[in-house]
Chains A and B, each alone.
Chain A
Amino acid sequence: MTAPAIELRNISKAFGPVQANKDISISVAPKTIHGIVGENGAGKSTLMSILYGFYRADKGEIFVNGEQMDIPNSQAAIAAGIGMVHQHFKLVQNFTVLENVVLGAEDQILLQPSLEKARSLLQELAEGYELKVDPDALIEELSVGHQQRVEILKALYRRANILILDEPTGVLTPAEADHLFRILRSLRDEGKTIILITHKLREIMAVTDTVSVMRRGEMTATVKTTDTNPQHLAELMVGRSVLLRLQKEKADPGSTVLKIDNLCVSDSRGVERLKNISMQVRQGEILGIAGVDGNGQSELLQVLGGLATGTGSVEINGQELPLSGAGSDAQARREWGIAHVPEDRQLLGLVMDFMAWENMAFGYQHDERCRRGPFLMDIQSMQDYCRDKMKQFDVRPPSITALAKNFSGGNQQKIVLAREIDRNPDLLVVGQPTRGVDVGAIEFIHQQILDLRDAGAAVLLISVELDEIFSLADRVAVLFDGRIVGERVVSETNEGELGLLMAGIAESPAQAESRAISVTA
C-alpha cells in the first residue's frame, strides 16, 4: 500500500483563546482530489496554512509521502512538493505570465534561461491539461479564470505534486469553474494530489473523490464523496439539520415600486460600469441580479444606496429619484423608504469599532428613537432597541456593548439586516446577503428576506451565488459587463442557461423574440 500523500496527525493550533484547530488528523491518498468543507471559521484555512508553512502548529506531526516533515515556512513546503493557489491571487499585475511563473524560482542571475525553460514547460502543460495561457500576456490583461491558471502553473513550475486550492471558484463563472474542474481531474489523472478547500457543497460533489468536514476547529468526518450527499454534508458542517432551500410561496406582486430606465453609472476613473440598464421591481417580489462579481453589481447597489451618482431615470413608487446633486445622498435614500444592505458589511454596513448598539442605529441616528433634545443621543432607548432586535434576530453573543468586529460574519450580517428590515422599507436593496456567512445563519437570513417580501416590500437581491438566486428570487436579471443581458422567471430557467448569460454569451434575437411572445401570451 502506498503512503498517503499528506498525513496530518493530531494537529492543534490556538490563536490566543481561540482554538482554531483541535487535534486534527487527516490522511490524503495520493492521486485523489480531496475536498475539505466547513463553515467560515471552522479552521480550514488555518489547517492549510500550517501545511503550507504560514503558521506552525502548537502540536502534531506532518507527513508528506510517508516522511515526517517540519514545515517552518513556505519555502520548505515548496521543497516538499506542496503548491498553493490562494483565494486572492498573488500575482504581479504588470508582469507577463512567464515572469510571474518564474518569479522567486529563477535558476540563476540571468533571467532569460529560466524564462525559456518556463516557456517550454508552459507549452507542455497547456497541451496536457487544458491549461492554456498566453505566456507573454500581462496579468492585468487576463480574465480572472486565466489568472487562476497562472497560479496553478506557478505551483506546477515549482514541481508541486500536491496542490492546495483555497476557495478557487469564488470569482469564476460556472463555465470557468467547470473548466477548472476539468483541469483538476486531468492533473489528478497525471498523478498529482489535490486538496480543494471550499464551502460550496455542489463543487465537492462534482469534483472530489473524498471529502473531509470541519466544524469549529475539529475534523468531524471524512467520507467518500460517492457515499454522501449535500444535505448530509451540510448537517455535518453545521451539526444539525438545515434547510438548503427554503419553502416559499409563489410571489403575489403588487404595484411597481422600483422602475429603472436607462441607468448609467461611471466609476471614479470615468469608466462606464452600468450601461443603460432598465428593470422594474414590484411590491411583494424579489428580483435577483445574477452575474460574476465585478460586472456592475456594486455600482447598482451604490447608486440606489446613495453612494454613487448616475444618469438616467429611477422612479420609486412613481416618483423620480434624484441620481446626483442635492437629495441623492444616503441619508435621503432612507427617507425615500429604500433600505440598503451593502455587499461589504465590514467596509460599509458597520463601523467595526462601534459597539452593537451604536451600529444598530447606524444611518438612522436622526430617528425620533435616537434623539434626546436637539443635540443629544437617547442612549437608553438606543440600547433597549438593540437588545430587542438582537433577541429577535438571535444575534450571538447577545451583548449590546460588544464591538462589531468581535461578532462572526453571520452575526454581523444579522445586525445589518435587523437594522435595515425593521424600518419596513418599500424597497430593500441587498448585496451578497450571505457572503462569508455560515450555513446555519444563511437559512435564517434567507427567511427574513422572504418574510419581508411576503409583507409587501420590493426586494432587489444582488448575488453572485446562483444557489441563492434560485432559492430567493422570483425573477432574475443577469448583469454582464454593465448590461442586462437577459431576464428570466426563476421557475422557468436553470443554472445552465443563466451560466451562459453570465459568461456573456448573449441570447440570439430569435430566442429573445420567442420569449417576448410567451410573456405577452
Chain B
Amino acid sequence: MNKLPKWVDVALIPFINLVLALLVSGLVVLWIGENPLHAMQIIVQGSLGSAYGLGYTLYYTTNFVFTGLAVAVAFQARMFNIGGEGQALLGGVGVAIICLGVNWPHWLLALPAAIVAGALFGAGWSLIPAYLQAKRGSHIVITTIMFNFIAYSLMVYLLVNHFKPAGEMAPESAAFVAGSHLPSGHEALGWLGINFPKSPPVNVSFIVALIACVLVWLLIWRTRLGYAIRAFGLSETAASYAGISSFRIIMVSMLISGALAGLMAVNSVMGEAERLLIDSVQGAGFVGIAVALMGRSHPLGVLLAALLFGLLYQGGAELEFELPSVTREMIVVIQGLVILFTGALENMVRLPVENYFIRRKAGN
C-alpha cells in the first residue's frame, strides 16, 4: 500500500540528504569567507580529478567498506556496534603478528593468513560485549564503546612493551617482512598495463573489500543464518516464537561484525603502513556507522556510501591544503554535516518524500 518505488528508497532520498548536507556545508564555507563552489570544485578535483587523488579516495573507501559492513551486519540483527574502532585496532594486532612473525615468501600466502588473523582478532574483541549482551542484557552500545577505550590503552601497552623494537622512540612496530607487502594500485594495475601513480596507498585490499560486500550480501539475503538474523532484527518476539535463539544470533552477528571491522587492518596496517602504528584506525570505525546508516545496511549502499566518505576524506584533505582559511576542524564539520543529514535527520526528508509519492500514486 505505502510501498515506495525502490529507486526512491535507495537513491533519491540519500541523494536529497546529500544535497542538503552540501548546501549547509556551502553556507559554512560562505560564512568563513570562501566561495563554496570553488571549495566544492577543489573537493571533487582533489578526490576524483586525478589518478593520484582517486588512489587516496579508494584507499579510504576500502577502510570504510569494512567498517561500514561491520556496522551493517550488526544492524541487521538490530545490534548497534559502536566498537568498530576497537575491533579494527585489534585486527591490526592480528595482522601485525602474522606479518612480523612469519617470513612470508609471497604476498598471496600472507594475505589469506592476515585476513584470518585480522578477522579473528576483530571478532575476538567483540566477543565479550556480545556475550554480555546475549547473556546479561548489558547494552551493546555501552559495552562496545567502552571496549574502544580499552583497545586504545591496550594498543599503547602492546606497542610500548612488545612491538616496539628496542632502542626506538616511536611507539610503533618494526616494518613488516618484505614478503607480506601487498601490491599497491601502481603494481596491480601495472600488470594490466595501466599506468597508475606510485604514491597513493590503494592496494589489493580493495578487491578483498569488494568480495566482502558480495559475501555479506549472500549471508544476509541468501543463507538461512541471514534469514534468522533478519528475523531477529525485525522482531525479536517473533524470532523467539520461531525458535530462533537470541543468544546464538547476537553472538554470531556480533562476531561477524567484529571480524569485518578487524579486516580493515588488512588495508590500513598491512597494505598502507606496513607496520603497526598507535592509531591505525583514525576514526574509520565511527565513519562506518554513518556509512552503514547512509547505505541502509545493504552492501551495495555501504559500498556507495563508503565511496562518498572516501571522497570527502581525500577532498577534504585537499581543501585544507588549498584554502588555508579552511582548517582541519572545518573539514570535520562538513563531514559531520553529511553524517547528520544522511543518518540522524534521515526521516526529515523521508516523510515528505514518502507522502509525495503516496499522494501521487493515489492521484492516478
Contacts and interface: CB of A to CB of B under 8 A. Distances in A.
Interface residues of B, number: 27
A507 B234 CA distance: 46
A376 B362 contact: no
Interface string B237-249: 1111111110000
Nearest to B363: A17
Given A375-B224, A377-B224, A348 B234 contact: no
Contacts of B224: 365-366, 370-371, 375-377
Given A16-B2, A352-B235, A406-B1, A376 B223 contact: yes
Interface of B: 1-3, 222-225, 227-228, 230-231, 234-235, 237-245, 355, 358-359, 361-362
A282 interface: no
29 contacts: A14-B362, A16-B1, A16-B2, A17-B1, A307-B241, A329-B243, A347-B235, A347-B238, A350-B238, A351-B230, A351-B234, A351-B235, A351-B239, A353-B234, A354-B234, A358-B227, A358-B231, A362-B231, A362-B242, A366-B224, A370-B224, A375-B223, A375-B224, A376-B223, A376-B224, A377-B227, A379-B222, A403-B3, A406-B1
B242 to A, nearest CB: 4
A440 interface: no
- Shortest 6 CB-CB distances between A and B: which pairs? A331-B243, A330-B243, A363-B242, A17-B362, A348-B241, A16-B358
B258 to A, nearest CB: 20
Interface stretch (A23-31, A77-85, A164-172, A332-340): A332-340
A370 B242 CA distance: 14
Interface string A349-381: 111111000100011011000110001110100
Interface string A397-421: 0000001001000000000000000
Given A17-B358, A330-B242, A362-B231, A348 B237 contact: yes
Most buried by B among A305, A334, A363: A363
Contacts of B240: 307, 330, 348
A419 to B, nearest CB: 10
Most buried by B among A348, A351, A352: A351
Nearest to B226: A377
Contacts, number: 84
A406 B1 CA distance: 6
B243 A347 contact: no
Given A16-B1, A352-B234, A354-B231, A365 B223 contact: no
B358 A333 contact: no
A305 B223 contact: no
Contacts of B227: 358, 365, 377
A94 B334 CA distance: 49
Most buried by B among A14, A354, A379: A354
A306 B240 CA distance: 9
A297 B222 CA distance: 38
A350 B239 CA distance: 9
A291 interface: no
A18 interface: yes
A342 interface: yes
Interface string A299-325: 000000111000000000000000000
A351 B232 CA distance: 9
A363 B241 contact: yes
